[in-house]
Structure 1
Amino acid sequence: MSSENRITGHYAVPPELSGKRLDQVAAGLISEHSRSRLQSWIKSGALTVNGKKCKPRDKVMLDDQLELDAEPEAQVTWEAEPISLDVVYEDEHLLVINKPAGLVVHPAAGHAAGTLVNALLNYAPEVENLPRAGIVHRLDKDTSGIMVVARSLVAHTSLVEQLQTRTMGREYEAVVVGTLTGGATVDAPIGRHPTDRKRMAVVPNGKPAVTHYRLVERFAAHTHIRCKLESGRTHQIRVHMAHVRHPLVGDPVYGGRLRLPKGTSDELREVLADFNRQALHAQQLTLEHPETGEILSWEAPLPDDMIELIEALRKHAKELEQSAY
């Protein structure tokens, strides 16, 4: 098999992973592959440390060099399903889609079918041979917007590298509770919540996470913001905005109870009560094409439910402003 069709990579052990087991370090550095696959590569010698075959439980130290050189094989066993996709762009290497809110990305407990992966296997069967069916970054089930999927190993390797080096640009739009006075940066590490393993939280020993946000429009008691990520931690924007006491509207995990602004009209109360997902949309994606090197960018317009939410907040703010005179 030619080298260009193999799964390869070189990784240096960073300070925060020094002294940990090889399988743990591999999972942290090569997160686009499943833990079971990484384990099998370690045992087979496809994943080595400083050129030597090791056991999964062996400890690795700062600056040790992990080298991956493995043959691709069928990576998924899920079924293809004829689920419609909103395809924004496609070629032999890339598939860019606008994911609707409510669509789960990966099959998991409680969602064995009806996911984006099932749809991809039907639309582009070749992704069966790629790690995680070509998905290199995820959106939460109830987050809408732009996602890129690799259709080739060349693309997969390039996209993972762009994510790791933070050269892939991702911007999101969100509506948060409270009135922000200006943009800012949240630089706070994220990891599993210490007592609730289903949630993420800002924790001292978490992975570095940086979110930049700026104001788009301020309402009476809410703010429409645009966020740019430097990292891609699970639930990052949701956790960071809740951390600075401005949780996303409708967030069922980090938003707390419904808070209604003073003088809320019946119309706005109904819109806020019915908005039962986090008000978060992946609006723009910019990356370097894995084959041509061309810088490409795509945008996905706000979905109808967020447009309705913003219009209701804007109308309420104007009504309050007019009643003050």
Structure 2
Amino acid sequence: MKDTSLLENDDDYNDDLPFAADEAAQSYKNWTVPNELAGLRLDAALAKLAPEFSRSRLTAWIRENHVTVNGHIVPPKYKLIGGETIQVAIQQDESQLAFTPEAMALNIIYEDDSVLVLNKPAGLVVHPAAGNWQGTLLNGLLAYCPALAQVPRAGIVHRLDKDTSGLMVVAKTVPAQTHLVRQLQARTVKRTYRAVADGIVPYDGKIETLIGRDPHNRTRMAVVPFGGKEAITHVKVLERYADFSYIECQLETGRTHQIRVHMKAAGHPLAGDPLYGNPRHPATTEAKAAIKAMARQALHAYRLSFIHPQTQEKVQFEASLPEDIYHLLSVLRLQAGMDSAIKNADEWQKRLTDDEDEDWDDDDYDVDVIYIRE
């Protein structure tokens, strides 16, 4: 799912001239069928005339009416007699769009000649791949800084999941990229995340496992007994509520879906996680509504620190929680305060019942206050 607010502006699109615009951008190839190909089907003959394209692609173009014979649409099985003119409207492969610049509103929080640090919104894919050849962060970076076309992967050195928000560093030069990659390998890049997890996480600690492809579902990752890659996550509990915990996770390694997989393995999957979460986790109506409104896992890359490739000094950046996660926390905090008030009110009512004649002082009515460490 793309965040349409970040996509390329369509102000230059001319609705009055759609065909003219398409034709100007369209590429055609023409062949005259030689006599030696007489008797062949159109798809077979075209495969010989245009070996640079796969036969399956050519067949698809014929079926999609992108191929004409003497100006007429014909089926792939059409038999040629020789001398016909074949015209093909070349269709751009989606993968060719992967490195096309696309203007989008990037939230750049720091930039110099060597690096830029940005706050990625949830819903934005970082790097092009099957099903997401356009509208990615890489496309946006190439539009924002065309010089990144000379840097592998447009300077991207690490990724965030599509629906994880937060801080990323991008190298603007090849030397800076090499320096940052070596830091990642040496584990000197520090990445700290804030998240909301299901249940009450009992204590601070470290999760250290192997992570690999889930043998039962290849679209997911999982903690595996062998064959995976070392994965280490440090977990700190910031706040606890009746049904959830607000936690901070620091990555020592950077495996695919690492925090999401580790918290699931610990019995505390992230709230709202569509891949690893528990949709049946008990919660108040208000909390369920806030989680549903997020439409993603409650995970945000909150803090990022690294050695600057040029100055060799340690730099650190923070990005406050996005509105959707902050709203969920507000609901949980409000509920926690109400629960505390109700509990104290019940205890006070019990005291009044036990001894109605006993004098009381307003100071005895105590409501717990939650102090937020941010």
Q: TM-score, normalised by structure 1?
A: 0.74
- Tell me which structure has the larger Cα radius of gyration: 2
| AA at the equivalent of 1:323 | I
- State the match for 1:182 in structure 2: 203
Aligned partners of 2:123 and 2:162 also within 8 Å: yes
- State the match for 1:134 in structure 2: 155
2:261 aligned to 216, 239, 251, which one?
239
Residue 148 of structure 1, CA deviation: 0.3
CA distance in 1, matches of 2:319, 2:185: 24
CA distance in 1, matches of 2:166, 2:187: 19
1:249 aligned to 268, 271, 277, which one?
271
Aligned partners of 1:138 and 1:147 also within 8 Å: yes
1:87 aligned onto 2:116: no
2:315 aligned to 279, 296, 302, which one?
296
1:124 aligned onto 2:145: yes
Residue 256 of structure 1, CA deviation: 2.6
1:191 aligned onto 2:212: yes
CA distance in 1, matches of 2:165, 2:263: 18
| AA at the equivalent of 2:247 | I
CA distance in 2, matches of 1:323, 1:175: 24
- State the match for 2:179 in structure 1: 158
2:294 aligned to 256, 268, 275, which one?
275
Residue 268 of structure 1, CA deviation: 2.7
Aligned to 1:138, what secondary structure does the other structure show? coil
Aligned to 1:315, what secondary structure does the other structure show? helix
| AA at the equivalent of 1:219 | Y
Going from structure 1 to structure 2, the CA distance change for 1:131 and 1:258 (only over 3 Å counts) comes to farther
| AA at the equivalent of 2:215 | P
CA distance in 1, matches of 2:149, 2:204: 42
| AA at the equivalent of 2:317 | W
CA distance in 1, matches of 2:157, 2:320: 22
CA distance in 2, matches of 1:125, 1:245: 45
Aligned to 1:156, what secondary structure does the other structure show? helix
Aligned partners of 1:201 and 1:239 also within 8 Å: yes
Aligned to 2:270, what secondary structure does the other structure show? coil
Aligned to 1:199, what secondary structure does the other structure show? strand
CA distance in 2, matches of 1:268, 1:214: 22
| AA at the equivalent of 1:268 | A
| AA at the equivalent of 2:230 | P
CA distance in 1, matches of 2:107, 2:162: 16
Aligned to 2:129, what secondary structure does the other structure show? coil
What stretches of structure 2 of length at least 5 have no aligned partner?
1-96, 347-374
CA distance in 2, matches of 1:247, 1:102: 20
Post-superposition CA distance 1:67-89 (Å, at most 9, x none): xxxxxxxxx96100111100011
1:208 aligned to 230, 236, 240, which one?
230
Task: Output the aligned Cα RMSD.
Answer: 1.5
Q: TM-score, normalised by structure 2?
A: 0.64
Residue 321 of structure 1, CA deviation: 2.0
Aligned partners of 2:171 and 2:177 also within 8 Å: yes
Aligned partners of 1:211 and 1:240 also within 8 Å: yes
2:333 aligned to 285, 290, 314, which one?
314
- State the match for 1:38 in structure 2: none
Aligned partners of 2:211 and 2:222 also within 8 Å: yes
- Percent identity over the alignment is 50
| AA at the equivalent of 1:197 | R
Aligned to 2:217, what secondary structure does the other structure show? coil
1:146 aligned to 161, 167, 179, which one?
167
| AA at the equivalent of 1:270 | A
Residue 228 of structure 1, CA deviation: 0.6
Residue 97 of structure 1, CA deviation: 0.3
- State the match for 1:284 in structure 2: 303
- State the match for 1:40 in structure 2: none
CA distance in 2, matches of 1:222, 1:248: 9
What stretches of structure 1 of length at least 5 have no aligned partner?
1-75
